[in-house]
């Protein structure tokens, strides 16, 4: 309880209300435009993204929207969607190692995409608690569903150093900043944990190279000419 209280206080200091609510109307439009469901059209690539603790909307503000924009810039005209994960994103979920229901929901999204859009390259990604969800969701996938994942990208990963079940290490990128206590297994939100939006270019290059490498490998790979070189994990 003391750790949770400390994390709440840290979040209150690090994430002022103005930053949490910023650009929410734009995000809602973005989410509607880029949300793909089993009943909707199949994109060439879909990023299944879980936002961080206390972020609003279903893709947040720090990483989700700029990551989608960065991937689209490198997509060479491919149709790229982002599917957010609807979950509370509260401190309790973080302390549980990632909200259990949100983790199951993310796994369900991935399974539905793999079944209904077999030619779609699936990228799984998460920021902070969202990275916990990404790991947990991968643990719940059957091998057939996991085979459609072309890349897994974690930002500010509380499970830094752990693999992603069913995804080859060459397709996993973990971005952790120096002095990010969350990446060190702690519960303190420091400035280093709030700046992962600056890393979306690196992540997008990795995603596009992984997608190209998956072409013909039975992993929902797509042609990605002009993609940049993959960036190593920090």
- Of 104, 106, 111, the closest CA to residue 144 belongs to 111
d(CA 115, CA 166): 17
CA–CA gap between residue 62 and residue 138 (Å, rounded): 23
Bridge partners (DSSP) listed for residue 123: 47, 151
Catalytic residues: 128, 180, 193
| Beta carbons of 129 and 52 less than 8 angstroms apart | yes
User: Packing angle between helix 200-213 and helix 64-73, nearest 10 degrees?
Assistant: 50
């Amino acid at each position: 309880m003391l750790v949770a209280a400390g994390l709440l206080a840290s979040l209150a200091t690090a994430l002022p209300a103005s930053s949490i609510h910023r650009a929410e109307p734009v995000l809602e439009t973005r989410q509607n435009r880029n949300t793909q469901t089993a009943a909707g059209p199949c994109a060439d690539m879909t990023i299944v993204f879980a936002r961080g603790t206390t972020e609003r909307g279903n893709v947040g503000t720090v990483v989700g929207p700029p990551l989608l924009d960065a991937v689209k810039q490198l997509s060479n005209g491919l149709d790229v969607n982002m599917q957010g994960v609807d979950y509370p994103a509260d401190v309790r979920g973080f302390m549980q190692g990632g909200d259990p229901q949100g983790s199951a929901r993310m796994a369900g999204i991935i399974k539905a995409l793999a079944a209904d859009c077999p030619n779609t390259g699936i990228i799984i990604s998460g920021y902070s608690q969202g990275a916990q969800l990404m790991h947990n969701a991968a643990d719940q996938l059957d091998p057939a569903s996991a085979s459609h994942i072309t890349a897994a990208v974690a930002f500010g990963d509380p499970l830094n150093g752990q693999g992603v079940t069913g995804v080859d290490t060459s397709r996993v990128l973990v971005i952790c900043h120096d002095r990010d206590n969350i990446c060190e297994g702690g519960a303190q939100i420091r400035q280093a944990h709030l700046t992962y939006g600056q890393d979306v270019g690196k992540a997008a290059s990795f995603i596009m190279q992984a997608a190209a490498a998956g072409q013909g490998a039975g992993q929902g790979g797509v042609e990605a000419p002009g993609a940049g070189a993959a960036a190593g994990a920090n």
